[in-house]
Chain A
Amino acid sequence: MSSIIPETPSIKAAVTHINSIDNSKFSRLLTRILQKLHLKERSFSQEEEEKLQSALSLERHTLQLLLETVSFILEQAAYHNVKPASLRQQLENICISPQKAEVFSQMWAADAADLLEKIRLGIFAPMKLDRVSWQLNLQMARSDESRLKAPHAVLNLGLRAEDHSERLQDVFLEFSHQDLLDFYNQMETVQTQLDSLA
């Protein structure tokens, strides 16, 4: 299998640093990066990076290079959906020490499925349906219609924008019994399509 990790000068430099880190510290580092890989934010906050710098006795730009390279390796592994054994081989090919490669490989074996699932679910769209809430009322009368007794549903679709903003956009919809039946029938059609994919 062709290499998923190109051998660029910066990668080579990063490899040296990776190999020099203490093993136990390294596996904790790796876990943390793996956990946050599917998000669009940085794995470590500013303060955490400063603490890391002193803990690993690395300079700032060295630490950056290290973190970026490890993230890159994991992203490539996810993209190509490599097996743990294959990953270990690839790492050894770029001169990562056997113990470190083993750490990578074991962690990958344990957590890859989870990570891939999270990435799959994160497929982007401008707005996503995030919450569904509803209310069922019995309309007794309106200013223009007397003696009703009509069941009346209000649906609130909470839409979240792609930038994961805290606020949801609310879309309020009202339905009479017939309206709701029509809506349900449309959804049944969608479901049939989904079923045919399985």
Chain B
Amino acid sequence: MSGANVKMSDTVSLFGGRVPAEVDMLYKHLKNVNRETFTQILRAVVNAIGGQDCCESVREISESGFISEESLNHVMAGLYALLKEALCQPSLKQEVFSDDLRALRFSEELLADLVAVVFGNRQTSMNVSDKHEGPHLAKIEDLKWRVDVAISTSSLSRALQPSILMQMKLSDGCTHQFEVPVAKFQELRYNVSLILKEMNDIEKRSILKIQD
């Protein structure tokens, strides 16, 4: 195998071996960007990943004149793709990421900045963007209920049977209306409190064992 035709970026593990073009070419566009501008762009990209609106800051950067608009576009695209990928991997190790960045030909300075963003003091997970939510089932958006007592029916003149009617509006738009017999309601209530108890147990113990 000819070593000369192997690109350095083939050794990057971050994107599963297929580095996107904008990330591959990032180092070229960053050659003429000064440190301060880079920091500004980096901050804007991180905000964008977090779902915040960064039009203002991007406009400021492009108006400052320190970087051409074309370069700015390339740099932002590349940084966005790179950081989004890195931030979404729960088990990414710092050394592995640093090696990847070196393979992508980042200078040590910029490398340090990027590593700080990904592995800096974030206690909780970063919410990458509400637009790209992971797969999920319907959640209860609205729950209406009523308790009825059937006094009389066509079968019994004195029934006196309580029952519960529930109307659930779900996040996927469906509405379900159904009766819950009292015995089933108790079963539902029991199961929900059982799950809550299990959740409490998990939160107390497993978190300590599962390493970040």
Contact = CB atoms under 8 A, between A and B. Distances in A.
B199 A180 contact: yes
12 contacts: A120-B156, A123-B153, A123-B159, A125-B178, A144-B88, A146-B128, A148-B125, A159-B176, A171-B168, A171-B176, A175-B139, A190-B185
Contacts of B136: 174
A60 B134 CA distance: 65
Say whether chain A's binding surface is mostly helix, strand, loop, or mixed. Answer: mixed
Contact of B87 (A116, A146, A154): A146
Interface in B87-105: 87-90
Nearest to A151: B199
Interface in B141-184: 143, 145, 147, 149-150, 153, 155-159, 161-166, 168, 170, 176-182, 184
Interface string A143-185: 1111111010111010100000000000111110101110110
B156 A78 contact: yes
Q: Dominant SS at the B interface?
A: mixed
Interface stretch (A17-25, A65-73, A91-99, A128-136): A128-136
A81 interface: yes
B199 A136 contact: yes
Interface of B: 87-90, 124-129, 132-140, 143, 145, 147, 149-150, 153, 155-159, 161-166, 168, 170, 176-182, 184-185, 187-189, 191-193, 195-196, 198-199, 202-203, 206-207, 210, 212
Interface string A76-109: 0011110000000000000000000000000000
Contacts of A147: 90, 124-125, 212
Give the contact-size bracket for chain A.
35 or more
B28 to A, nearest CB: 29
Contacts, number: 176
B191 A145 contact: no
A174 B133 contact: no
A119 to B, nearest CB: 5
Contacts of A122: 155
B163 A183 contact: no
A49 interface: no
A37 B92 CA distance: 67
B165 A125 contact: yes
B207 A149 contact: yes
Given A140-B90, A174-B137, A127 B129 contact: no
Sorted from nearest, which 9 A-B pairs have the closest CB atoms?
Answer: A142-B134, A125-B179, A127-B178, A174-B137, A151-B199, A147-B125, A141-B90, A120-B161, A144-B128
Interface centre among B156, B165, B198, by most chain A C-beta atoms within 10 angstroms, is: B156
Given A143-B132, A173-B170, A194 B147 contact: yes
Contacts of A148: 90, 125
Contacts of A173: 137-140, 168, 170
Contacts of A113: none
B145 A186 contact: yes
Contacts of A191: 185, 189
Given A140-B210, A146-B125, A149-B207, 6 more contacts: A128-B180, A129-B166, A129-B181, A141-B89, A142-B135, A177-B203
